[in-house]
Amino acid sequence: MRVGVLTGGGDCPGLNAVIRAVVRKGIEVNNWEVVGFRSGWKGPMTGDSRPLGLDDVEEILTRGGTILGSSRTNPYKEDGGVDQIRATLAEQKIDALIAIGGEDTLGVAKRLTDDGIGVVGVPKTIDNDLGATDYTFGFDTAVHIATESIDRLRTTAESHHRALVVEVMGRHAGWIALHSGLAGGANVILVPERPFSVDQVVEWVESRFERMYAPIIVVAEGALPEGGAELLQSGEKDAFGHVRLGGIGTWLADEIAARTGKESRAVVLGHTQRGGTPTAYDRVLATRFGLNAVDAVADGDFGVMVALRGTDIVRVKLAEATAELKTVPPERYAEAQVFFG
């Protein structure tokens, strides 16, 4: 049996751990041939692939990013894209695909399954916003990176008695902001799920200054001021209809400075949250996902995604996995508000 594997969408730590698990179990247990497709869905469309052997994955467990490369290619937005994938799989004698990605990558996987191509999905996103799984790998590492950055920023903020606004990733879901803000002891946490009042933020900031401490504000890139709109880096949309967000941190820092008269600075963590070595938790979760994805392929159970429920790895339909985003519920945000100001 020949099985293809690809990584799509934004990169994150832990992708290589999945690839390693698929290759190790696929070859050593199932006696498969494993083929890696480069650059997400672009690989099967163009036939850009490489064989993956045991030596290819020997040293990649701790490596961030993905040895296969990634892209935001959508074959359903390309003329003849799905037919090109069919032709590639037939030409290279690929019996099934394992697609590692988030909402967009797995949305394509679901449609391909509906169109008769055997695909098994593995959930990846630093945003932790796939509703069918308790956690996605990449999230834990992103939170650790953001938390360490907040810890470092706190010391310089206190030294200069200034407010620091830390902008983290999170387009529609504020899980990174919530978890890193709580872990880093932030005084304000702003998430996309709840439009915020600038007046209230300023009140919390001034309360912190009154107690002779420097306020730390953590804001997700998709957070919205009441009555405001998303701040865009670019209005250009990608193949899945997404625009590039960014700038809310700088805008908020300027508002705080103007309203309080206190020095305020913004720090955008950006892609530092995606890079580097995965945490132990993400390495283990990614490895378990990869092993169980191999089992799903071996069982011929296509159109599913492996998911974490409690401590167990289960299979859920791709339709369920991509049905809706998992966002921060009001009660979770209310818990965090105890520490604001």
The reply, when asked if residue 116 is annotated as ligand binding, is no
**Region of residue 249 (left: phi > 0; alpha: psi -120 to 50; beta: else):** alpha
10 is in an annotated binding site: yes
How distant, in Å, are the alpha carbons of 5, 71, 112 from that of 84?
Answer: 17, 17, 12
CATH for 2-137+278-322, options being 3.40.50.300, 3.40.50.450, 3.40.50.10800, 3.40.50.150: 3.40.50.450
**131-147 as b/e, with b when 16 or more CB fall inside 10 Å?**
bbbebbbbbbbbbbbbb
In the CATH scheme, what is the code of domain 140-275? 3.40.50.460
Q: Where in the chain is the domain with CATH 3.40.50.450?
A: 2-137+278-322
Per-residue pLDDT, 235? 47
Q: Is the dihedral of CA 247, 196, 272, 24 positive or negative?
A: negative
Is 45 marked as binding a ligand?
no
Residue 242 has a pLDDT of 47
| 149-158 per-position pLDDT tens digit | 999 999 998 8
Alpha-carbon span 266 to 164, nearest angstrom: 6
Residue 130 has what pLDDT? 93
324 known member of a binding site: no
pLDDT in tens, 220-248: 999 999 986 555 444 454 444 444 556 89
Q: Is 263 helix (H, G, I), strand (E, B) or coil?
A: coil
CA separation for the pair 290, 23 (Å, rounded): 9
Q: Is 94 annotated as a binding residue?
A: no
H or E segment at 15? helix 15-28
pLDDT digits (tens, 9 = 90+) for 160-199: 889 999 999 998 999 999 999 999 999 999 999 999 999 9
pLDDT above 60: residue 27 = yes
Chain region(s) in the chain for CATH 3.40.50.460: 140-275
Q: What is the pLDDT of residues 117-137, one digit of tens each?
A: 999 999 999 999 998 999 999
Q: Where are the alpha helices (DSSP H) in 211-327?
A: 248-260, 280-298, 318-321
Contacts of 257 (CB under 8 A, 6+ apart): 163, 263, 264
Under DSSP, is residue 131 helix (H, G, I), strand (E, B) or coil? coil
pLDDT per residue over 214-225, tens digit each? Answer: 999 999 999 999
Contacts of 319 (CB under 8 A, 6+ apart): 110, 303
**How much is the pTM?**
0.92
Predicted pLDDT at 247? 87
What mean pLDDT value characterizes the chain?
A: 93
Which residues are designated catalytic?
A: 127
Rounded-to-integer distance, Cα 189 and Cα 336, Å: 8
Element (H, E) at 120: strand 119-123
Sign of CA dihedral 9, 13, 16, 22: negative
